[in-house]
Amino acid sequence: MDEQSTIYRVGDATVTRVEEQRFQLNTGKLFADFDPAVLEEHRGWLTNAHVDEAGENFLLSVNTWVVRIGGKIILVDTASGNHKNRPFSALFHQLNTPWLERLERAGVKPEEVDLVLLTHLHVDHVGWNTRLVDGRWVPTFPNARYVFSKIEREFFDTPAGESRRMVFEDSVLPVIEARRSEEIGPDGGEYLPGIRFHPTPGHSAGHMSIEIESAGAHAFFSGDVWHHPIQVCRPAWSSVFCADKARANLSRQWFIDLTADTGATVFTPHFAGTSAGVVSRAGDSFMWQFL
């Protein structure tokens, strides 16, 4: 897992992946509409890096993306984090991964990060916002601004004791209390020149995909508009993790159309392999090509 990640160039920006973990999920459990015939149809490009040999499990990963642009260091999503109580899922419960060491191998020390851009506030996207120091959760990136959706914050900022507050309590609230956070309104829009938030709700209430434009080239950070590349070919397949499947399907189709039309490089949080690629049209459908 510690292999050197590819450095992608998008205009004058560079983008590098920092992977936290890999795991597998049963095909039928991930997608209620799963059809084995569709998997076989696409076996030519869905290698064993993305589905097991028996075709019973999809392979996924949890990634953070490091963007260097205009002298700034930006992180997009922060994976799951260490030492966090997550009794609802063994995938995220009390992890002890060398994610920070991998970040440093990518050339980034926590104090050097300028911005943390969050697509949404789920467990596997905000965990490294904070780390445990002397029994307290403190911002991992002390000099960064953490930027996220206002709708997401309102959804998870529930009264104490409610289950959906668990992740918020240790991974979002400490950066708010440290006055390191900024919120993006429901319509999204430009945060800084060349950095734009696009509303893509459905997976979660205020989910946003993030675009970074540099020298006429576009990078899109999809967030969880999808979980596996098979959804590029079957955009009507929403995962079990999507709160509103109808809205998620609309957001996914919008995102696929946009990235195909712009020729953007797309960076995903959960596709295995390189986790980066491009969307292209194939007649009335679409295809994904890993980079």
Q: Per residue in 168-194, pLDDT tens? A: 999 999 999 999 999 999 999 999 999
Q: Is the pLDDT of residue 8 over 80?
A: yes
Q: Give dist(CA 54, CA 69) in Å, integer.
A: 42
Q: Is 93 helix (H, G, I), strand (E, B) or coil?
A: coil
CA separation for the pair 251, 60 (Å, rounded): 21
**Distance between CA atoms of 76 and 63, rounded to whole angstroms?**
9
Helices (H), the chain: 27-30, 36-41, 99-105, 123-126, 150-156, 165-171, 173-177, 230-233, 245-262
Res 178: pLDDT: 97
Q: Residue 4: its pLDDT value, please?
A: 62
Give the domain ranges of the chain: 7-290
pLDDT band at 160 (very low <50, low <70, confident <90, very high): confident
Q: pLDDT, tens digit, for every residue of 214-233?
A: 999 999 999 999 999 999 99
Question: What pLDDT digit, counting tens, does each position of 88-125 carry?
Answer: 999 999 999 999 999 999 999 999 999 999 999 999 99
pLDDT of res. 3: 55
pTM: 0.96
What's at 168, amino acid-wise?
A: F
pLDDT of residue 284: 85
Question: Average pLDDT for residues 3-27, to the nearest whole number?
Answer: 92
Q: Which residues contact 110 (CB under 8 A, 6 or more apart)?
A: 100, 103, 140, 141, 142
Q: Which CATH superfamily is domain 7-290 in?
A: Ribonuclease Z/Hydroxyacylglutathione hydrolase-like (3.60.15.10)
Q: What are phi and psi of 161, to 5 degrees?
A: 100, -20
Q: What mean pLDDT do residues 262-281 have?
A: 95
HEC readout, the chain: CCCCCCEEEECCEEEEEEEEEEEEEEHHHHECCCCHHHHHHCCCCCCCCCECCCCCEEEEEEEEEEEEECCEEEEECCCCCCCCCCCCCCCCCCCCCCHHHHHHHCCCCHHHCCEEECCCCCHHHHHHHEEEECCEEEECCCCCEEEEEHHHHHHHCCCCCCCCHHHHHHHCHHHHHCCCEEEECCCCEEEECCEEEEECCCCCCCCEEEEEEECCEEEEECHHHCCCCHHHHCCCCCECCCCCHHHHHHHHHHHHHHHHHHCCEEECCCECCCCEEEEEEECCEEEEEEC
pLDDT at 1 over 90: no
Q: Which 8-state DSSP code applies to residue 182?
A: E
pLDDT over 70 (residue 31) = yes
Q: What is the mean pLDDT of the chain?
A: 94
Helices and strands (H and E) in the chain: how many: 9, 16
